[in-house]
Amino acid sequence: MANDVEYYSEVKKMIQQFLNTSQLVPEILNEQEKQIVATFCFGMINGYSLKDKKNAIQIQGATIDILIEMFFYSPAVSAEFCDFLIKCTDKSFHPTMHSIIHGGIQEYYQYEEGKNNELKDNIENVIEIVKNH
């Protein structure tokens, strides 16, 4: 349990730093942008969780927590969105969301290396690409 508290705390810290570095404020993003950024963050959470060998329940809990606390979704909407994101890990279910999730996983490693400019540029590019298609 104490290990879970530390895990959730580290995930929140990582996502907050990513949002700050990328100059993204969920409260002022439109709904499409907010969903793109949240999906990207789900990928980052998975990247972090792979390194720490967290199980699916812990990842789901951390994701729902982030969706509630940082993206201001209700608990019910957060749980539903998280279930959708989990389904999107299957490329055939939703190829675009799958790509965004995997982009987030890759960005976790840039985050670890302190490549903040690349993080900011990459999420801006993802948002722009999705908005234009």
User: In this predicted model, what pLDDT tens digit does every residue of 30-85 receive, in sequence order?
Assistant: 999 999 999 999 999 999 998 888 999 999 999 999 999 999 999 999 999 999 99
Q: Side chain identity at 87, as an amino acid letter?
A: K
Residue 80, class by beta-carbon neighbours within 10 Å (0-12 exposed, 13-18 middle, 19+ buried)? middle
* Mean of pLDDT over the chain: 92
pLDDT over threshold 90, residue 25: yes
Which pTM was predicted? 0.93
DSSP state of 27: G
DSSP state of 90: S
Decide: 63 and 82 in contact? Cβ < 8 Å: yes
- Our count of domains for the chain comes to 1
Placement of tokens 């999420």 in the chain? 123
pLDDT over threshold 90, residue 132: no
Arithmetic mean of pLDDT, 85-91: 95
Terminus-to-terminus CA distance in the chain, angstroms? 43
Q: At what angle do helices 31-51 and 116-131 cross, to 10 degrees?
A: 140
Q: Is 61 helix (H, G, I), strand (E, B) or coil?
A: helix
Quote the domain boundaries for residue 60: 2-131
Rounded distance between C-alpha atoms, residue 71 and residue 37, angstroms? 9
